[in-house]
Amino acid sequence: MCNASTDLKSLPRTRLSELTFGNCVTFSIDGEETFKLIYDKIIEAKTCIYIANYDLDPRLQFVREQGRENSSPKLNSAPDSLIRSPCITEESIAINNNDDKQRFRNEAYPLQDLLIEKAKQDVEVKIIVWQPRLELRIVPGADQRGLGTRTKEVEIMNELAKRNKIEQNLIVRIDNTAPTITSGHHDKIIIIDNQIGFCGGLDLSHGKWDTSQHDFDNPLREAHAQPWHDIEVMVKGPVVWDLIYHFHQRWVYSLTKDAGQTRGVEIKSYFSNRSNDGDTSIIALRTWNKFNRNGGIVAWYAGMIRKAKESIYIENQFPFENKFITQLLVKRLKEVQSLKVIIVGPVDPNLPGLVGSIIAKASVNDIDENLKALRKAGEDRVKTYCLISQHDSINEKRKQIYVHSKIMIVDDKWITIGSANMDRDGFKDSSEFNLGILAPVLARQLRVKLWHEHLSHSNSVLADVNLDNFDEGFWVWKKLADDNGKKIIKKEAISGHAYYHNFEEMNLPPPYPRAKDDTKFKWF
C-alpha cells in the first residue's frame, strides 16, 4: 500500500464510520464536470490510484471537446462553479514535470492510456470491478442494463499492462462475491495518493458522460447513450482513511474470500479523526453485511428522516423501493405538518422485467406504490418528479433524463451521497459506500445548484424567485410541472426539465410516447 502523509502526533484510526472533523469537500454535478475533476486529480497522482467500481470502460474519454479549457458553455441562470467548502491546503498535488502535466490535459487521454502512463511513472494502480453472476449475464438485455460481462475490459487493461511491462504497478481484478444473485459490489470510489477520495453515483463506464444541459441529442455522448444525471463528491481530510480502509478490505476479500483476514486489515499510516484543513464533518457509511458497523447507510437515512423538520430533497435511481424507509417518512410527515418533500427519480427506472423482478423480489410497482403512499400521507407537501429532455426544434420529441444520483438533503443541513439506491440491494445485499455530511452552507448551495439545473430553461418561472428558500422553490417545481403538462397537451416544447413522476395520477399526458407510471409492470 502506498503511504500517505503522516502525523505522528495523531492517534491511528482503527475503525470505519467514526465521525471525522475538518474535512474539505467539493461537489460536482453530471459527467462533464465530474470526469474533468477526476481526470485532473489522476494526472496529479504521485504514488497510488485505487478504484473500486461497479463497471469499467477502458476507453472512457474523461474530457471531450466541449469540456476543454474555457470552452464549455455556461448553464443558463445557474451558478457556474463547483460547490466547495473552505480548505486551508488548497495547493494541488503536482507531478514533477509540468510539461507532462500539460500534455495530459491537451491530449485528453482515455482511461486506459492515462492509467498506463501513470503506472509508467511508478504510480501504483489497483482496480476492482464487479462481475455479475452468470445467471444475470445470460438474461436478455443484460448488456443494456449494465449486467454484461466485465471480463473483456479487465483483460484489455491487464494485457496493456503486460505489454508495457508495468504489470507490477497496474493490476485490475474482477470480484463476483456478492451475497445474492441480483446484488453486486456496487461501490464507486476512487482514492488518489491516499489524500483525495471520490464517492458518488458515477461509474467509470460507457454512457455516463453528459453535460448539465442534458441535450436531447449531444454528439459528445457515446452512441445510443441517453441523457444522464448524477452527482459526485470529492473529499480531503480524515474521512479519506475510511475510503482507504474500505478499498483494502474489498481487495483482500476479492483475493481470499476470507472474512477473518478481511476484518484483520490494518492501515499503517496515521490518520486522526480531526484535521484543521477544512470545516466539514463527515461520517463514512457502508452497506456490506459481513462487515457493517453502526447500522450502515440505511441507519443514516432513518436517522435523518426522523430529524427532518422543514425539508427533504431526494434524487435517487430507485427512490423509496424500501418499505421501511417509506414508513418512517410517512410517520414523520404526520408528526411534522410543515415538512415538505421533493423526490426526483427516473420515470422509467432500469429495473428487470417479469422473470427478473420475481427473482429480485423488486419491481417498479414497489416504487410507485411507496411514492403513492408518501403523497397520500403528505398530501400537497410531497411532490414526485422526473426529468425530461426536450428536442431543440421538434416539439413532439422528448425523452427522459436518467436520474442515477443517490443523494438526500435534509433541512438544508445534512447530506448523504454515494452509491446506494433506496432499495434492498442498496440498504442490505450489495456492497455500497456513502458519506454522511453535515454542512449547512454547502447543503443549501448544492440543492440550489441542482434546482437551477432542473428548472433553469424556464427563466420566466424563475424570475424573482429565491431558490435559497425551500418553500419558494417547492412551488416553482409544481408550477413548472403543471405548465409543462399543459404545453405537451398543446404540442408545445416544454421548459426546463421538470415533469410529474405520477403524471397519470395528475391527469396529464406522458412526457414521451412509451412513458408509463403506475401501470408499467404488474405481477399478474
- Domains delineated in the chain: 23-280 (3.30.870.10), 296-500 (3.30.870.10)
Cβ–Cβ under 8 Å, residues 397 and 216: yes
pLDDT of residue 176: 79
pLDDT of residue 218: 95
Cβ–Cβ under 8 Å, residues 344 and 454: yes
- Phi and psi torsions of 171, nearest 5°: -130, 125
CA–CA gap between residue 9 and residue 7 (Å, rounded) = 5
What predicted TM-score, i.e. pTM, was given to this entire model?
0.91
- Phi and psi torsions of 263, nearest 5°: -65, -25
Count the alpha carbons within 13 Å of 199 in the hemisphere toward its beta carbon.
Answer: 30
pLDDT of residue 155: 84
pLDDT of residue 287: 94
pLDDT of residue 95: 44
The beta strand positions in 131-185, using DSSP E, are 170-175
Q: What is the mean pLDDT of each run of 10 residues along the chain (524 residues)?
A: 52 82 96 95 96 90 69 41 85 50 73 94 94 58 55 83 93 80 84 96 93 95 94 96 94 91 81 86 92 84 97 96 95 97 92 51 78 96 97 95 97 97 90 95 96 79 84 95 96 96 94 70 40
The beta strand positions in 326-466, using DSSP E, are 340-344, 382-390, 398-400, 402-403, 407-410, 414-418, 432-438
> Which position has the grid cell 488518489?
192
Cβ–Cβ under 8 Å, residues 435 and 297: no
- For residue 410 the three cell numbers come to 435534509
Number of H helices, E strands in the chain: 15, 19
